[in-house]
Structure 1
Amino acid sequence: MRIKRLHIGDFGILQNQTLEDLNSGLVVVGGHNRAGKSTFMQVLRYLGYGIPGSSALPPANVEYMVDADVLDEISGLLYHIRLQGAADPVCTVAGEGTRIPVSELYPVDSFTYRNLYTISLDQLARKPEGVTDKEMEKLQSALLGAGMTDIANIPRLENIFTRNARNIGGETGRLSNKAFKPHVQLIREGSGRKRKANAQVDEYQRRQELLQELKNRAESLGKDLEKAQARRDILETVRNNYEVIQETIDLDGSLKLHEGSRIPGSVKIENREKIVAAYENYSSQKEKLHDLFNSLALSLGSQQRAEKVKDLLFNYRNLLQGFTDRLSGLQEKWSSLQRMQDRLKQDMHELTARIKALNAGWGQEGIDRVRRLKLELLEERKIMDYASRMQDIDNKLEQARLRMDENKNKEQEIENEIEEFEKTAPVYGLKLYFWLSLLFAAAGLVVSFFYPIAGLLFGVLGAAGVVVWAVYKGLGQKEISLRLKELRSRHASVSAACKKLQEQIDELNGERERIQSCLAEVSEKLGLPQTVTPSAVLEYYRAVSDIQKHIVRLDQEDKSVQEQAVQLAEQIEQIDKVLTELESASGISEDNGFVIQKDFMQEETWQNVKIRLKRWYDLMNTAVRLDNISRETDKVKSQILSLMGKEAERDEASLEEQVDEYLTQCKAYSDYQEMKKRLDTNMQSLMRAAASDRVTKAFSLLSSAEGQEKSPMQQLFDIYKDYAVPDSLEREYKTLLGEIDHLEQELEEVRKDIHETELLLKQLSLTEELEQAHEMILKGRSGLYQVSYEYAVQKAAAWLCREIRNEFMTRMKDELLLKADGILRRLTGEDYQRIIPNDSLSDFSFELKDGSRQENSRVLSRGTREQVFLAVRLGRIMEMQPSLPVIIDDSLVNFDWDHLKQAVQVIGDLSRTHQVFIMTCHPHLVEHFVQLERESGPPAQFWRLDQGRFFSSDGSELMEYLS
């Protein structure tokens, strides 16, 4: 197992640090004191087990958080481990999210990993710091294996058992020693008191003699009864197994003459089941072959035609399969073309309706007429210009006419005003003044005839008034002349404007006539009347142009449809051609009551091709199945012959005969084996019956009495022979049962007499003194038994412990620390050869190069002692599986230069199978790992740790940093 990536979010001084692409072998982390190396060791130590709630650990700033990507090199799977707070580690399969127990990656317990795989300077001692006496046993188990720890307990157990035995029976175990003595004294005292109480009277002696006679009689009857019962047990066994014995004798005689015993060894009887199954398969395949051929013949009309067409269909199978695979695609194309043709017809019909709606004079030929029209975009633009220009001209003409009318009106108004001013001219005024003066004078004269004064005043004042009025009017004549001049000038200007507007109107009318002439040509081209407005011409032109575009598009689609129809017809024709060839070659004429048309786009023709193709495809499948089954039949036939051990067969009948003959031989052999098995079963049943405790005891009793030496089985058969028929055996058995009943009754009466006599003797002998004596004897015997039993158990247990320890140590001492021996020899330059655990396994002795021994680790120097315990740990690590990461925290500081070099080489070898993390603050140790890499050793990865921050480095840079 290898750690590929490690992210430390929060752990003491280490905050938000990530180590990517960690080396799978050596990882050297260098840093000064208090840089965080020990904290990093704690992270690695608890990665697979969770962070314990201990005050000895560096505290988290917020909450412990560690993430790691771990590679299992056995399965090749990548796992993700997450530590958060004091919770258990969460381990998931990377990329899947499946959660697994972290113990699958770290199968050893936390104590073993912490004290074996994590190697600090304090742990390279017989009893590392911080390990209690209770934990030393677990440490021994980790260093030597669980079995050796159990062996280490054996001497302690032996001492306990020996001490317990000594406390009971002393050194010798005599009855007069320690715990035995009180019980022996009690027995002796009880026996003495019993002897005194057993002084019997004459009646007691007589009853004793009678009791003895009765016991002798009971013993004699008991022996007779045992013999009778033994005889009964034997006869009952023969009686219960009479048919088995008879069958066994019959089977033994039949087997000697059975034909199964003469079956040659070349017959492969063991293949019987396979041959039966294969022959059933062969028969089934033959039946299928026959049914399929009849089905093909029925479809084709005759067996001769089926035989002829079968090979033909098999040869055409690829073509028919290809046609069938393409049939759905061809059907889709055919249906698509039909839909496209229907849509084209519908579109043409709609265009015809549009043309008729546009121009009722165009009938069915309207599409062709529109198709022939040469409509150009430039012409449309001209019509647009004409319409626009015509509209502009009409607007200008209307404006010009309005202005012309305005000018005419102005001209008329000016002329009228001139005419009014001309009426007030000076000549016309003097005449008026003269006649007015005369009128007033005449009137005054007339009045003066009647009223002279009034007539004179009227004439004078009237003439004076006319004079005054004439003077006033004469003063305005100059202004009138100027006004007339102005009006005549305006009249001339308006007249010129009217002339110019008339010229403009004439010009616009001329241009309008030219545009109307051009539009008339277009209208004539489009079949429109001359009276159509320019905008209507434009709209009509656009409508015709749009229809022409649709016609062009439909013409292109129709051409494409026709081309696809030709291609589809060629493909269908190819199928039809092959089908026709099959029908011609097989002599089958396709006659469905109609003539097949060659227009393959017709529904009737296409459906006929599909029906014929399906029929021939089904026939082809039948032919292929016939061929497959035929091949399978031949294969099964060959398999049958091979299983029977034959090379070939002559004909069908011979195969069946050979199979029948083989099965007959198999049956004979099977019957023979069944009879033999039955014989063996009977013999075993008889042997079990003869070997039962009851029968064995009976035969033993009778044999000792009669002096027979035959086995129980032979005696059973001999007894069977004495009784030719079961009835004679049954009579003998019943007679024996009656004899046993008589003996049991007689024995019961004797025992009853014995019991009565014993009761009488008990009454004579059971005094208070005798009871106390018996009680003392029983109590002493009971206590002595218990103490003796306990003494024997303790002595036996001590002896077993001694023997087990001696035997185990004799076998295992030389094998226990083989790897550690090799590592120690390398570390010490062959000065130390072997590490030998002592009897209690609590320490080691050492064999030196010269053959001498050092009895314990206390006599070693500090450096050598650390080398010993480093060798023991590394040796144990190399033996354990799986390969978990190893952490070494500056535990080599007491090694001199040469021994340090050897230790680095050993660690380099370990890194080939394990990921090894080295924490150090010593540049010379880094130098050794750099030198190891240069000497073709395993490559190392170097990291610089500075105040809790990791930096990727190389060996030279790290040495310089630590110097």
Structure 2
Amino acid sequence: MYLNELRIDDFGCFRNARLDNLDDRLIVIGGPQRAGKTTFMQALRQFPNGVSRGGDLPPATDEYRIDAELTHEGERYRYVLNGHASPSISPIGDGQNIDAGDIFGPVTERQYRNLYTISLDELRRLPPGIDDSEDLARVLLGGAYGDIAEIPEIEESFNDRAYDIGLSRGDPSTTSSELNDPYRTIREGIEARKEASQQVDEYRSVTQKLEDKRSEQSDLEDEIARRQQIRDRLNILKELFDPLQQLETLNAQLEDVDLDAIDDFPTHLADRLDHFEEQFQTATTDLAEARREFDQNATFDTTDEYYEWLLEHETEIDSLTEDQKLWARTAEELVESEESLEENRRDIEREIASLHSEWGESFTHIDEIETSAVDTARVADVASTIEDLRTERSDLKASIDSAQTRKQELESQLEGMEEEHEETREITVPKQKPAIVAGVAIVVGTGVGFAATPLVGGVVGLVVLAVGLYATDSTVTVETTVDADPYRELKGQVATLDGDLQADSERLTELDDQIEEKQSELTELVTELGLPEALPASEVPEFYKQVVELDDEIAAYREKQTEWEEDKENFASDIEDVATLLDDVADFSWAAEEPLEDADKVLAMLEAVAADLELARDVRRAERDRTECIEDIDDVLTEWDEDQSIDQETDDEDILEYIQAFNDEAERISELQETVEERDRIETQVTSRLENESAREAFEPLQEDDEPWIDVVRNVATEYADTDAIADEIRNEKRQIEELEAKRDELHEDCIELEQRQEDLASEEDLREARGKIEEGRVEFERLGEAYAVNRIAETMVKQLHERLMEDIVHSLVDDASDIFREITQEYEGIELDGDVQSLDFRALREDNHDHGVGELSRATAEQLFLAVRLARIQQTDVSLPVVLDDAATNFDPNHMSRVFEVIDQLTASNQVFFLTCHPQCVRITASNDLSAQYWSLNSGRFTRRETADTLEQQLSAD
């Protein structure tokens, strides 16, 4: 038995805990201390008989509830444990009903606790719950231990009782034995009877008569028995007479029949042949219908050559037919694409004509113009620069005009002020410094203009000029004899305007030169690109942009045109395959140069040929069905008679005649088989009746040597005409038996009288006392003798039983445990058991060193010894139950722990093993040993599936 699923709904710390899809070999459950591992083991200990009341079990929150799905002897069952009730087990599917006893078999609850659920503190000589070593022996050796332990005592008790009765040899003449008293009593009674039974003449006479009567009575008994035997024989013969007559008739019918031929005839094939005949007629009809359909509906010539051509090119036609719809759709798409491309070309030509009237609708002019992203940027940059320069020139002219107007206004005001203030005296400012400032402004502005744009250069030059003039003006000292501040200010403004006008004029000249230079550059670029030379500069960028767009459209059009041509060529290649194939059976015109013109005709023809192929397949299928039917019929006919063989060339009428001949023979054979079966049935009926012991006793006097009983009865039956004659004979025998029985009764009465007379002639009182004494001694002697014999026999049997059980159970357990202990330790050769089985005084054996008792072993080695004993007992148990090991290898070093897991791996071949641990190294060793294991973590009563040993080891290390 192994668990598939386990649900602990209410038990201690567990609430709705689940273990699903459990492996049937090794399940490693890891968790920290107090995670619930011990509670899990206690839960499994309740499986045999349910939860007991009292004790140290963890309590339930509401009511104990354990639910499991398990597999037992290949069938799945559901196990349910509620409260303290006995567990219930119900089949899942069609399994038979069982209970816990059927699963656990001879394993008791205490054995399951101490053998199959092993915790660390229980790997001791006397674990908790075991009162003494004798109690442990009961657990380890199973339910038979009680008998084994009591056998020596029982043997001794049989010996003592036998010795009390008859000492060692059972001699009744020994005065100290119990047999002596009844023996002497019998001897005394015999002597007394001899004295009381002295015969007299009359006693002898009566005795002789009594013997004669008894002899006559015996003869009558023999005669009555003989008559009764004859009566019984006649009754049986009457019962079997009619079946014997039928048997004779059937044997006569079968006398000249070859029974071997009956057995050899394949009557079991008659139904199959009927079925094959029906299939043959159906197949013949279907073939004719299929051929007629092909002849009437085929599109092209329905000759055999065309039929063969269709089947010969079946694969090619199927392959082409699969693409037929695709080709038809492709043809439509190609036509639509051609129309779309033509429309696209006309649109592009119209755009070319509208762009430049002298170009017309030809792609040539667009193709001759070089188009690229660089050229587009160059055209845009030059055009933009010219536009910017013209704008700056326009703005500069407006500024000059404004400055000149302002200057005229200021000069007019200045003339008026000169008339009003004649006494004003002004010191002329030296001209050298303003000239230097103006020159510097022009140089800086020109440099910035080349580095950036002319506009930026002009602005920078004006700023430098203004700052320089301001600085120069601020160094002039004017002395007047009148109020000359407005005058000087106005005159300074005029001077400033003169400087500005001069700078602007110079800048205007530069702008004209730059515009002329850029205009020349644009002209060269237009010529270089192939654009119309008469195109205004402002229109060049937009014109070139439209040319680029048209060039892109033309490229896209040509790419689509190329793709269309390729698609058309591919389509032509595909249609050419179809045309090449169909050229064998049809005459049509199709040119690869213009594949779209007659493509629909070729595809329609392919569709027609595909339809003809289906008709040809129907014909071929019908031919195959008919061929298979003929082969099936031939198999049946040749199994009956090889001369009846048929093939495809055989006429239908001949085939049907062969079938009819087989059926006629089958009918005749069936009738003979029924006759044989009837004969065998009757023969079996007669033989079965004669197997009765009383029937054989009735006919035994008539049997000669080993003559079959049925022949004996058949010979007797020949003496009678019918059952009425037998009935008359039976009545006659009954009458004679009744007469003999009446005579026997009379003789019996006479014997009683003679026996009474014989007793009266003897010494009745003495003889009675002697007989009573003999009887008393005989009864007691027989009782004691029987008791002596029984005790001696029982003593011998019990001794042999004890030796055999000790060898079969205890020694076998020790031998298996030795192998496991040796494999785990690899230091000891094994173990042996000193003394009686009750002591379980094990010793660990070493090859070249002293043996060690359990008390001399280290704790870990002692635990390994008793773990080996438990595992050996588990392996010897007939039932396969889950095994739970709760940190049973904690005290072992890594090497011993690794070998323990190797032993556990061997145990998983027959038992499901749950290994509970809180130590990461245990999980690590299962992985390093390449054990096939399933891993779960447990924490606070919750199970979590872990995919690998590493994840469980990491979980335990973290905890």
Larger Rg: 1
